Amino acid sequence: MKYEFPAAFWWGSAASGPQTEGTVAGDGKGENIWDYWYKQNPEIFFNGVGPENTSYVYDRYKEDIALMKVTGHNSYRTSIQWSRLIPTGTGEVNQKAVAFYNSYIDELLANGIEPFINLYHFDMPLSLQQKGGWESKEVVEAYAAYARTCFELFGDRVKKWFTHNEPIVPVEGGYLYQFHYPSIVDMQKAVQVGYHESLASAKAIKIYHEMKLGGQIGIVLNLTPSYPRNPDDPEDVKAAELADAFFNRSFLDPAIKGTFPEDFVSLLKSLDYLPEHTAEELELIRNNTIDLLGINYYQPRRIKKKESSERLSDKPMPDDYFDNYIWPDRKMNPYRGWEIYEKGIYDCLINVRDNYGNIPCFISENGMGVEGEERYVNADGMIEDDYRIAFVQGHLKYVHQALQEGCNVKGYHMWTCMDNWSWTNAYKNRYGFIAVDLDQKGKRTIKKSGHWFKEVSDNNGFDA
């Protein structure tokens, strides 16, 4: 069967500034929470690899963009590092960063690759974290000023902007499950952080639309559809709906509808955990919604009603309202510990079509992290990652089906272009179309999947 995609479909990949750029002596970058956490606790980072040793893009971006072209990219998402552009989070702009990002953007455009630029990808400037990070209203205002600066500097050429990547992750990683800094367990603070991220997003959207720069601004959300163990059991269904409220609708609803989910608000009210807010802020969120939605899809949630007595904290936690359920028929990526369920990407798109006005959207991340890919190097030095080709193709078949059924999906970006640093996991699992050899100063080699993706992009589809 031939899977054909629309003529102007966005083919490409996604990455972030903090996961790729690295740190170069004299670059003027300020310290962010990852730099700080690594200095404090290097042992929690896989093989002790910290954020200064990311994929050397600061020096190699021109080579990388040439490789993007060879691997079929017509678009590419990355992020501006707040701590690179404005080293202390507020005040003076780092002119070396301006020159770098200007050159990066110009090089992408010169190669026919549209830049999609994200403003925040988990990299809070340390000086602002010391003022409370996303717990602080002052930081929300600092972010709005940072966003304005980015639009002023780069908005003449960048026409696709995103306020946040996966804003639920600083909430769950930093304030619930301890896999991001500040690594605390406090659901009340988590709720305030999430609210402030939505407020910051709305402020940036308002600024962008008022500047009339002729582009679009959106948000990138990692959507994990919650499937009840038994769809005929009302308690399983309710548990799945609450999981969906915590991890999906808490950001999806304010971003698109301008309001927060009623069941979520009701639950927070019952706990006396509603965030500090004002009527004016809620009005601002209501009136400043996104133009474009990025959907990061990796895995589903399998949910059942609360049956265990285990508690993660003596204070309330999302997990007090549901248990995770292992679906007996699941297939797994054993390296990442994630279920591979291709139909989930279709279900995300149908949900946006049916419940969110069929807003223009695209798959902004989808990918497969594998440890020890050097096992698959052939005699020519190329990694034969047929498993990644199968993974992407399987998901693209469902994107195609969603398109056939009227979903307003504009493109597909894989995570990621070249192997990059992945927070505390560092380089444990590799995701890229292009291999990065850390032992050879970041030498790049296109994998089999990169050559395959070029064919898909050139043909605007594939046969399968």
Q: Which residues are catalytic?
A: 365
Q: Bridge-partner residues for 217, per DSSP?
A: 161
Residue 19 burial by Cβ neighbours in a 10 Å radius (0-12, 13-18, 19+): buried
Find the distance separating the first CA and the last CA of the chain, reported in whole Å.
5
CA dist 20 and 423 (Å) reads: 11
Longest dimension (CA), the chain: 64
Pick the closest to residue 450 from 399, 388, 368 (CA basis): 388
Strand 226-228: give its sheet, edge to edge: 226-228, 301-304, 323-324
Structure tokens that stand for 208 in this block: 């962008």
Helix (H, G, I), strand (E, B) or coil at 13: strand
CA dist 367 and 388 (Å) reads: 8
CA dist 87 and 382 (Å) reads: 39
β-pairing, 338-340 vs 331-333, is antiparallel
Helix (H, G, I), strand (E, B) or coil at 411: strand
Structure tokens that stand for 320 in this block: 């007090």
Structure tokens that stand for 93 in this block: 């702009």
Instruction: List CB contacts of 222: < 8 A, sequence separation 6 or more.
Output: 166, 168, 169, 296, 297, 298, 365
Helix (H, G, I), strand (E, B) or coil at 393: helix
Structure tokens that stand for 28 in this block: 């003027």
Half-sphere exposure (Cβ direction) of 410: Cα atoms closer than 13 Å: 16
